[in-house]
Amino acid sequence: MGDNIYKASLTIQASRPIYNSAYESTLINFIDNDLSFRYVEFQPIEFNENRVQGNDPMVANLTAVMAYYVNIILGLDSDSFTARGGDVFFQKAQNIVNNAPEGSNISGWKTFDGVRNRYRLIENLMDVRFNLVHDAIYSYYRKGLDQFYDNEEIGRSGILAALNFLTVVNKDNPNSMVVQFFFQGKSNELVKVFSMAKQDLKVQARDMLVKLDIASTSEYKDLK
């Protein structure tokens, strides 16, 4: 864009190790298409949570976006090990959104910047209407995948409970960003989890998944 200003898409990926295995489950697999920033080669990257906007909004936008997603990752990871363990990190991410850099080339931080942006994600994660999402994250990982080494049936029950939590959220808040965000990168894992389940459990899982993760409906239909 000139003047050392760049517009880019940022891919955010993170995984979580599963207890007693070499397997890592996808925690985040998301593409942010609204990243604009100014950067000069060899320029230090510094972030101060007390001065999110910095002196130059276009320079500050890069560090703000990076710090935002670091806190989202830490929050989700903490949620997966401890019930509501990620709250402190989500609060930091929300603080970044509330004090985000502003400018004509900067987007993704405001409610009117679309329906799948940084503002919407943290709004969902902090809104009491979506509290069950945090329960779902904990149930999916700590009560679900982490239990597979000792007892697969208990593990599947934990994951099914997570799907039940998300079904309630989706019914009350259809087409919400955070539910779609949760499922990105998980379809293959979920098919493998339930492919060896008892028939009634398999049917329950399939019926919920085709409604929750519409983008992967064709994959879940194999759970017959």
Q: In the chain, which residues have pLDDT < 50?
A: none
Could you tell me if 11 and 78 lie in one domain? yes
Task: Give the pLDDT of residue 224.
Answer: 72
- Range of the structural domain that residue 98 is part of: 1-126
pLDDT tens for 7-19 read 999 999 999 999 9
Q: Given this model, what pLDDT does residue 115 score?
A: 83
Residue 1's pLDDT is what?
61
Q: Which of 69, 98, 126 is the last residue of a domain?
A: 126
Please answer whether residues 208 and 194 qualify as being in contact, where contact means their C-beta atoms are separated by less than 8 angstroms. Answer: no
Same domain for 136 and 122: no
Confidence (pTM): 0.95
* C-alpha–C-alpha distance, residues 167 and 93, integer Å: 26
149 with 105, same domain: the answer is no
pLDDT of residue 221: 84
pLDDT in tens, 184-208: 999 999 999 999 999 999 999 999 9
Identify the helix (H) or strand (E) that includes residue 162.
helix 152-172
Pairwise CA distance, residues 40 & 55, whole Å: 15
